[in-house]
Structures are given as structure tokens and as C-alpha cells.
Structure 1
Amino acid sequence: MKLTRLWTSFARQVDARPHATALVARGRHISYGELADLVTEASARLERLDTTGGEPIGVPATKTPRTIALVLACLRAGLPVVLPSATLPDATLQRLLARAGCRHVLRADDPGPARTGAAPAPATPARAGAAPAPRGPHDPNDIAFVLTTSGSTGLPKLVPLTAGAFERFADWAAERFDLGPGAATLNYAPLNFDLCFLDVWATLHHGGQVVLVDPDAATNGRHLLDAIDDNAVTVVQAVPMAHQLLADAADDAGRRLASVRHALFTGDHMPARCLARLPAVFPNGRFYNVYGCTETNDSFVHEVDRDALPADGVPLGTALPGVEAFVLDEDGAVVTGPGRGELVVATPFQSAGYLGTDPAAPSPFVDTPAALPPGAAARFYRTGDLVRRDGAGVLHLEGRNDFQVKVRGTRVNTAVVEQVLLDHEEVAEAVVLAVPDPVAGHLLHAVLRRVPGAGVGTLGLRQHCARHLPTAAIPSTLRLSETALPRTSTGKVDRQALDRILRSPRPEATAVRKEPAR
């Protein structure tokens, strides 16, 4: 792998502005010069390894300056870096690193001699041979980052991204959200999540300051409020839950975040009640709905008019420069006017395919579908997301292909049911699972966490659903959780864990209370 522009531009920042703050971590300000010293230490660890084969280096993604320094050291050495979640069980981590072809793993909390042989290397190194042959602009020998998917359906998938893909995205993000010197971005997401390409790597690429949110305080709204206020953060990118936490904390403290110029929400449905609170929290902010997948990076962005907030959902918005997107109906035909179907995209920032998977296995990475017009990109990604194109040609996200089930003969999308539940002002989190049933085909079971002090019960929630959903889509069982719902390593709701809770014979042991439909 050649030296990435991320490394060379970082080095330029160190030369030109060594005393400027690069990172803020647990209240400590680390300058570009100090971060460069950490990179030098990390590079010394790399030099003690046998890296002649060019295999990727595993770096568990603890959110610390030393982890960021390890990544920069790998990029400086021209070595791909695999960023698995630091919270993965050890056995899962070993399997994942073996699949990636890693012979070495470096941990930020182990500054001593590098650990070698952390995972057995497969016969074919992951650097070039394990991914499907690329189609389009990506060179498999130029892999810089390997991210992981959520693992909500099993072992996380490995998503390689080239230096060129990152650099194209970083340039777009820096121009759109003013990420250069003087900017300060809040890093809320885990470091193994694709959101970090904007709020960590693109920011360092262009000379801004990154404020790392302590993972142990990620659900503490006051901590988030202080991190933004104390560091004059200008860009906030986070899931809707974090914006809800900020809004609650700002109201409780009677504070506003005047430094924020750009507030981005992504990764989940933004409830209308939360969106309505953001203009007061960010009085000088512009608001954006950002859509993308780990495999493609961001694909769409929609700037929300703060003076005319939508009450019925935020659209996907406009495709980013160079992005091609089409909607395919159930028969694989292109939807050209109003209608519904699966979104397929090709972006200048996307992966060429997963690492370490069977090339013969079904893949969402596909050659140009036959239904697309001549001149379309050579390689597309089938997102699995269902969208609706309205009469004005605007796309709206409606759910996922794999969340569609039949309930008593009626097609139901569980993601739509979740959105309706989340739109209730007293619901903080909601997940709807479809459980096979010999009579109905499937029954819907909802697990919900109410906002603190909420009084709504299952009857009120069923009435709410009845006002917005057909009868078949009303969950047959509701369970109210007293604690936050379990999350995967990338912050998504862990549906497998919830399914185990639903099937548990002792729900009281999981802090989830079952209330049957009435």
C-alpha cells in the first residue's frame, strides 16, 4: 500500500501547526506534535514485527489517542489496518483477525513489545486475494482500512476500503462541513464504525480538532453537553439517540450549544419530536440527515430546513458527488417514477467486496444489474433498504428487505412498526421482532424502553399503533424494558440478544417486563 494522503497531510499539519490541538480525550488536549510523538512510538513497535508479507495489522478499536496513533503508524508504514470492536469476545476477535489474514495485533493499552501470532494467517493473505476481484476504481493492493459490520447476524463481515476511497470521501466531507483548521468535531461513534471517517479521520486529514466521547459516558447527556460546550465543537455527527440525550440535558441545564455549525444525524430513524427540539439546542446550527452503509460510506445527504421541519419523516436527500443510485422493484425493473423498491448504489467511496468470504456465496456486491441504463457504474451494492420515490422524485427510507414478513397473509415491514413506536413522545427505544407462528405465519413482538417518567402503558401504545398502522402490523406482545436495549459493537440494537430475551422463560431476569396485548 502506498503512503496515504491521510498520513502525508497529517505530517504537514505537524510541521505547520505542532501546537494546535489534534485530539481531546478525557479532558486532556493532545497537540498535533504530541500525537506525532505517539505515532513515532507506535512505529517503533511496528518495526519489531515481520511485516514483509504486507498482511494487515489488527488494532482493536479502543477509543484512545494511542489507538489513533497506531492506525496512523500503520498508514505511515503502508500497511492495511483492521479495526475490530474492542468489545468483541476474544474467540470472536481471533476468528475475525484470522479471516482478515492478520499475523500481528497491536493493542493501544499494551505499549510494550508487540504481540505476534495473535491470529493464524490463512493461506491467502487478506491484503489482495481474499476479497472478490474489484470492478471499478478500487485497487485491492491499496487497502488502507478494514472496518467491520455490526455482526448482528453472526460473525461481523470485514469491509476493506482503499486509500483512494477514503481520500475522496474526506475531501467531500471537509468541504461540506468545514473540517479544516479551527473546526472541532465530536466523535460519538466507536472507532470501528464508518462514521469515524468523517469525525476522526477526515478531520485529522484536514487539520481540525477531534473531541473523543468517552464510551463509558456515551449515554450521559450532561457529559455530551459539556464535551461540546467546553471545546467549542462545530460539527456534531451522531445517531438520533445521542441528539435526544443532548436535548434532554440542554433543557435540564438551561443551556444552548451556540458553537455548533453543523449537526448531522445518521444510522437510524430520526423521531419527529426529537428533530423539533434541535433548533433550540443548536441555535446556530444547520441540520443534515446522512444516509449510507458501511460498505459504501455515505451516499445521500439532506439538509433540513430548520424553519420548516418535516413532521412525517426526513427524506434521504441528494446523492453525493459521483454516487449513482437506482430503485429496483420486486421484479428487478428500474422504478423511474413514483413507486417503491430496493435501493442500489455505487459510490466513489465504496468497498469492492468483503474479505475472507467464499467468492461463490451470494453477495450484495453485484455487477451492473441488467435493468440499469447503459453507462452505469460497473459495480453496485444492493443495500437491502426499501425506499419510496414520491411524485417530486424524492426518496424516503421505509425499511429493509429482510424486515418484511407476512402476518396473517398481510405483508408487514417491522422497521415501519418501529418507526411508529419511536414517534410516540414517551418511547425512547423500540425494536420489533417477527417470531414464526404456525397459524399467523409470524407474530410481532415489540421491546420498548420508555423515556424517564413516562406513564404510557401497553394499552396507550396499542392505541397509538392503531392510529398509524393496519391491524396486522400492531404487535401482539409488548415488553417494556427498564434499561437501555442491548447494542452490538457498532452501536446498533442487538436483535439476536433481544430474540433470546423474548424466548427467555424468566423475563424478569433480563429487566424486561412482558405485557400481553389487550
Structure 2
Amino acid sequence: MPSPRLAETIAVHASHRPHRIALHFNDRTVTYGQLHELTESLRSQLLELNLPPGSTVCVPAHKTPPTIALLLAVMHGGHVALTPSPGLGGAALERLAHQARVSHLLTATGEGLLTAVPVQADETAAEGFTRPDPARTRLLLTTSGSTGTPKIVPIEAAGFDAFTDWATDEFALSAAETALSYAPLNFDLALLDIWTFLRLGACVVLVDQQRATDAAYLASLAVRHHVTFVQGVPMVYRLLLDHGGSFAAVRHVVLTGDSPAAGLLAPVAAAFPNAAFHNVFGCTETNDSFIHRFDPAAVDGPIPIGRPLPGSEALVLAADGGHLGSAGTGELLVSTPFQTGGYLRQDLNSAAFTRREGRVFYRTGDIVTRTAGGLYYLDGRADWHVKVRGVRTNLQEVENVIAAHPDVAEAVVVPLPDPQAGVRIHAHVTRRPDTGLTGLRLRTYAGRHLPRHAIPSSVHLTDKPLPRTSTGKPDRNLIKQNRMEEIDA
């Protein structure tokens, strides 16, 4: 519940349409009337804690109806909620709680009972961090940069309201919609497929995070609940395709995060025959910033991230820091009506945010190519461009080739230090079920599509899903660390 306007609107839905379904979660159905009652009950329990006005509390982001009601109660009460991944380690959770000056760790049971654990203040740990301002934000998300260091991102209430207005317009959303919400609750995708849909009085189907890789489960949710809106990384669509069937009720398919493999679009288009397809690009700091609507049948090559959203601006910086005025390749800077005012950790802001042409821009760290016609393509992260034996290599291109192999379900490519080559490339690959894929076959395949220096020198094959960060993205740092430990062992 990133803004007071959302809480008020949900209360109105409960009054006018109490029997309309707000949430589906496994076998549980929660109406707007029930969601409001649960929120009010938790709000009453919160009052018993006698929290000072505008307190910051920590609510681990379990993706359940009670947690959603608890977030509504916290923020409706004028407080700020830090929502880390529920799988975050104890030491990291404690560190984030101290940095945000959290007073209590809150959870809600399935029966709607509030559990509150006081957090001992530590001003030393909070030094250099601004205090969250409840007049501007009611929600704090966390994100990890290339170093893996968690950063606390305030989601501005005004920015969220502007975002929901844009999304409602862009996708022609109404209370009749049903969203399949796949991403974790602490991920910024929830701003659209949970909070925006609840503000509309629409229905949200929550994917149980314990069953997120169960293809049959996902497909049954989409079909049984007549889902009309699906947003997710390519893995979501691969899982739905693995189960087979048609999802004719879906009106909008939104691709985000990773680039889809070359062979994915045609079968996805067939499985969603009545859907409009969108590629959306953004990050936690700016929310969505680019969109591209496309016809899967007409795609021949990489899908553009599109053009900036209304009210957004983009700049492309050359290697010398100069602004590219026309077509070219460089680092992407974006400014959106939805973006944060800055991290809680103050010393990070000067490097991440810069004022140009009268606006504050966020340095994404992404390398893009802008065409003469103003269309943007994502080339990869700035730190994905490495030199192997002195040759500049784009790890994103290598990853795309590996992922395009028909026996590959998911793939991540990471650079490893090498005393001779400078950098060598390692591929961590999840193969499709019942395939005989081997590392040799995969490297041979890569050799037919890549120059010699770009062929991974090592391949780890597994039948398990990729390890993921708290925001649902592949955990490249962990994959790299695990491989280095194997080498050192």
C-alpha cells in the first residue's frame, strides 16, 4: 500500500462491493469486505503497540493475504513499512532494520493475529541514513546492486499514484480484470500486479512462492481464475508453455526483466491468442520507464525496450560522459514521474542520481543503443562488458546464445578472474526435463554461434531452478561465488 489514496480506495471498494473477490491464494478466496475487516483488525492490534506517529516497521514480504492486510494496516495508520524478502538472512535483516530505524518486526498469522518483536535501536548502524518521511513515502523496498549490497529505496506515494494512473490508462484496466501475480511481494513488479489492481477493485491471483516453479500449478491458476493480465520474466512463460494449453482469457502479456530467448515468442503467442504483447523496462529506483508494444509474429531479432513512458525522459551517455544527441550506444540515464527521491543511504545518491537539463536522472548502469528513430535496445549491464584475452565481450550476447539452445530452460553467464585471459566465462545452466544435454554439447553449440573468445570455458549443468535474489532476478553474485569456491576447493 504505497499511498494513503490506495488505502482509502480499498475501503470504498469494501463498502460498495464487499462480495467482490480481491485475492485468490491457493484454496483461499478473500473478498474486498473480508480484506477490509482483516486490515481493520490488524490496525486495532497495531494501536495497542502505541507506536509513535510515522514509525518505521519491518514487515517481511510473505506473499499472503494476511501480509497484504498488514501492510495496508501499517500504512493506513500513517507508518512506514520496510518489506524485505522473507528469505533474507538474520544478520542482513537486522542490518537493514537498523539502517531504516525500524521499531518493530511485524508478521501476521493466517488467522490474522499480529506478532510484534521490538527492534533495539542502533544509531551507529543508522549513521548516514536518512529517516523515512511518512509524508512522502509509506513503503520501503530493497534492491541489490552489482556488489550485492542491499539498498533501501523509498517508494514515493505521489509517484505510485502517478504510476497507477499511467498503468490504468496504458493497459485500459478496469475492476473486471484478474492479474496473475508471480513476482515476490518485495519486488517492484507488485506495484502493478498487486497494488494497482487492488486500487482498481480488481482481482489478484497470488502465486505461492513455494510453488513458483510448478508449471501445472501456474497453468491451473491462470485457467481456473480466468486471468486477463500476466506480467513476469521469461521464466514465467516458459513454465506455462511447459504445461501446455491455451490461455485465451489473457488480454495483456507483459514481458519484463530478462530478454526472452529467440525460440520463446512463437509458442507464447500461440498460447495467448487474444493477448496484446508488451516489453516493459524499468528498475526499483524509477519504476517502469520504457514500454514497447509488439507483434510476436513480426519479431526478427532482439525486442526493443521501446520508448520512454509519458512524462519520462532518457539520456544516453558516451564513454567520455558526453550526451549523445542522436543515434548511438552508451549508458542509459532515465527520469520518470514515478522515481524515488533517493536511497536512504545518503552517500550513494551523488553517484546514482544526477541533475541534467533541469531534471533528476538515475544512472541505470545499463548499456543501450538508440536508433535514429528514437527506439531503444538494451545491450546489457555496463559491468557485463568484459575483456577476454584482450577482446571486448558482451556477456549478455553470450547468455542469449546459451539460452536459445532448445534443451536449455534457463541460463546465466558470469565472468571469473583468470591470470592468463584476464577474464574467463562461466555458464550456469538449468536444462529442460528429460534432455541429455551435456557441457560439451552446449559448448559445441555455442561455438557455432559465437567467436572463440566468447565460448564459456566452463559449464555447470543442473536440473534445479536458478538461484534468485530477493527481487526474483538470477543471483549472479551467488553463482559466481559458488563457482569460485569450487575452484578453490
Asked if these proteins are the same fold (TM beyond 0.5), I'd say yes
1:473 aligns with 2:487: no
Q: Could you say which residue in structure 2 is the equivalent of 1:129?
A: 130
Figure out how many residues of one structure are paired with residues of the other and give that number: 488
Q: Structure 1 residues 245, 76: closer, same or farther in 2, change over 3 A? A: same
Secondary structure in structure 1 of the residue aligned to 2:341? coil
Instruction: Give yes or no for contact 2:175–2:200 (8 Å, CA) kept in 1.
Output: yes
Code of the aligned partner of 2:352: F
Q: Could you say which residue in structure 1 is the equivalent of 2:29?
A: 29
Q: What CA deviation, in whole Å up to 9, does each residue of 1:51-72 have, x standing for no partner?
A: 2252212111001101000111
Q: Could you say which residue in structure 2 is the equivalent of 1:515?
A: none
Q: Could you say which residue in structure 2 is the equivalent of 1:256?
A: 246
Instruction: Give yes or no for contact 1:340–1:389 (8 Å, CA) kept in 2.
Output: yes
Q: Could you say which residue in structure 2 is the equivalent of 1:235?
A: 229
Query: Which range moved further: 224-233 or 489-498?
Result: 489-498
- What TM-score do you get using the length of structure 2 for normalisation? 0.94
1-side partners of 2:175 and 2:423: how far apart?
54
Instruction: Give yes or no for contact 1:485–1:493 (8 Å, CA) kept in 2.
Output: yes
Instruction: Give yes or no for contact 1:301–1:316 (8 Å, CA) kept in 2.
Output: yes
Secondary structure in structure 2 of the residue aligned to 1:399? strand
Q: Could you say which residue in structure 2 is the equivalent of 1:120?
A: 121
1:404 aligns with 2:379: no
Aligned partner of 1:365 among 352, 355, 364: 352
Q: Structure 1 residues 114, 456: closer, same or farther in 2, change over 3 A? A: closer
1:461 Cα deviation from its structure 2 partner: 2.4
2-side partners of 1:402 and 1:367: how far apart?
20
Secondary structure in structure 1 of the residue aligned to 2:108? coil
1:427 Cα deviation from its structure 2 partner: 1.3
1:181 aligns with 2:175: yes
1:188 Cα deviation from its structure 2 partner: 0.3
Code of the aligned partner of 1:120: A
Instruction: Give yes or no for contact 2:426–2:458 (8 Å, CA) kept in 1.
Output: yes
Secondary structure in structure 2 of the residue aligned to 1:314? coil
Code of the aligned partner of 1:157: K
1:329 Cα deviation from its structure 2 partner: 0.9
2-side partners of 1:460 and 1:301: how far apart?
37
Secondary structure in structure 2 of the residue aligned to 1:380? strand
Q: Which runs of 5+ in 1 are unaligned?
A: 132-138, 510-518
Secondary structure in structure 1 of the residue aligned to 2:243? helix
1:125 Cα deviation from its structure 2 partner: 8.1
Secondary structure in structure 2 of the residue aligned to 1:325? strand
Q: What CA deviation, in whole Å up to 9, does each residue of 1:275-317 have, x standing for no partner?
A: 1111211111111111000111000111111442x13111011
Aligned partner of 1:342 among 331, 336, 352: 331
Aligned partner of 1:192 among 169, 186, 196: 186
Aligned partner of 2:438 among 457, 472, 480: 457
1-side partners of 2:142 and 2:430: how far apart?
28
2-side partners of 1:2 and 1:448: how far apart?
37
* Residues 211-290 of structure 1 aligned to structure 2 (within 5 Å): 211-250=205-244, 255-290=245-280
Q: Structure 1 residues 119, 320: closer, same or farther in 2, change over 3 A? A: farther
Code of the aligned partner of 1:276: A
2-side partners of 1:401 and 1:475: how far apart?
19
Code of the aligned partner of 1:64: T
1:12 Cα deviation from its structure 2 partner: 1.3
2-side partners of 1:331 and 1:403: how far apart?
19
Aligned partner of 2:404 among 423, 426, 430: 423
Q: Could you say which residue in structure 2 is the equivalent of 1:516?
A: none
2-side partners of 1:362 and 1:449: how far apart?
37
Q: Structure 1 residues 41, 364: closer, same or farther in 2, change over 3 A? A: farther
2-side partners of 1:391 and 1:465: how far apart?
32
Percent identity (aligned): 43
Secondary structure in structure 1 of the residue aligned to 2:102? coil
2-side partners of 1:56 and 1:125: how far apart?
13
Instruction: Give yes or no for contact 1:3–1:78 (8 Å, CA) kept in 2.
Output: no
1-side partners of 2:313 and 2:126: how far apart?
32
Q: Could you say which residue in structure 1 is the equivalent of 2:424?
A: 443
Code of the aligned partner of 1:78: G
Q: What CA deviation, in whole Å up to 9, does each residue of 1:303-355 have, x standing for no partner?
A: 111442x1311101121111110111111112233321011001111111111
Code of the aligned partner of 1:320: L
Q: Could you say which residue in structure 2 is the equivalent of 1:165?
A: 159
1:393 Cα deviation from its structure 2 partner: 2.8
Q: Could you say which residue in structure 2 is the equivalent of 1:514?
A: none
Root-mean-square deviation (CA, aligned residues, Å) is 2.4
2-side partners of 1:26 and 1:75: how far apart?
26
- What TM-score do you get using the length of structure 1 for normalisation? 0.89
Q: What CA deviation, in whole Å up to 9, does each residue of 1:338-373 have, x standing for no partner?
A: 321011001111111111x2x33565432224xxxx
